[in-house]
Amino acid sequence: MFLIILLRTSTSPDSIRNRFLKNLFSFKEEDKLSIQCLIHYLRSLRIYPCNLSDDHIFNLYKRYPIDSNSGIDICLEKLSQLLTDLFSNQQELFKTNEENQQYLVKLNPIEQDDFDMNTCCVLLNIFHHQLPASYQILWCSNISDEDIYLFFSRIRTFCSLTFVIMDIDRMHHRLREILLNEQDLLTREQKSHGIVYYFSREFMTSRKGLREYQIPAYYTDLKQTFTQLITLFQKHQSTLPSIQIIYGTAGIGK
């Protein structure tokens, strides 16, 4: 929907696109701002290599405009054409894996926090030489049925990508049953899909199709992980987030 709004063409100041942009920015050149928003959004997908230069996106923007009066089918068709053109050399996204790979990452049951520093390091290293995108990680502590179904549809579609499922132990039992059913379906379908890592302290590897992942020792090396993370941000020309570290016992003001 976000992409369709940006691609819509209209000279009316009350169009959906112009109202949307004016609510975000005070900017008179709507086309230029639309292109910058497109680049920002496409960059967030973390699909590399991909030409997201201003000139290239401008050409695509002009090549696949969406008329403001177009129905949803036309909108989706135009969007599909643009994305196909943009990712024309990304056949790897849909390549076939030789085997169905689902792994259980066993977390230390002694730890109280599900996302300690070791877990963070393992998570980052699992994606190897990529910065993970938000759509590749499912945080189960606050999700719905639809979130689970959508996430597994991505797993089935993008066979070359890596996906991670976190906070399984904090799920409501009804949602966990849905998740387990999707994991079972993924196994029984015997079709290619993306690699999936299930992070849990309670899960058992006795489930069919789920193998315990042997974590390499260097995956928990804080210094190595931090260096790799900085390198990835630089490689993909992404801005490092400004994060302030808060430490010490709660309530002491550090």
- pLDDT of 77: 85
Which of 78-87, 168-177, 244-253 reaches the highest mean pLDDT?
A: 168-177
Judged against a pLDDT cut of 60, whether residue 95 lies above it is answered with: no
* Bigger pLDDT: 83 vs 178: 178
Average pLDDT over residues 142-157: 91
- pLDDT of 7: 73
Whether 165 and 105 have beta carbons less than 8 Å apart is answered as no
Judged against a pLDDT cut of 90, whether residue 21 lies above it is answered with: no
Average pLDDT over residues 105-117: 72
Judged against a pLDDT cut of 60, whether residue 53 lies above it is answered with: yes
* Bigger pLDDT: 91 vs 43: 43
* Bigger pLDDT: 98 vs 59: 59
Interatomic CA distance for residues 22 and 53, integer angstroms: 24
CATH tag, 94-235: 3.40.50
Question: pLDDT for 164-212, tens place per residue?
Answer: 999 898 889 899 999 999 999 998 887 888 899 999 888 766 788 888 8
On whether the pTM is more than 0.75, the answer is no
- pLDDT of 129: 76
Q: Please, which residues have CB within 8 angstroms of residue 102's CB and are 6 or more apart in sequence?
A: 183, 186, 187, 195, 196, 198, 209, 210, 211
Per-domain residue ranges of the chain: 2-89, 94-235
DSSP per residue over 16-37, as a string? HHHHHHHHH---S-HHHHHHHH
Interatomic CA distance for residues 240 and 134, integer angstroms: 16
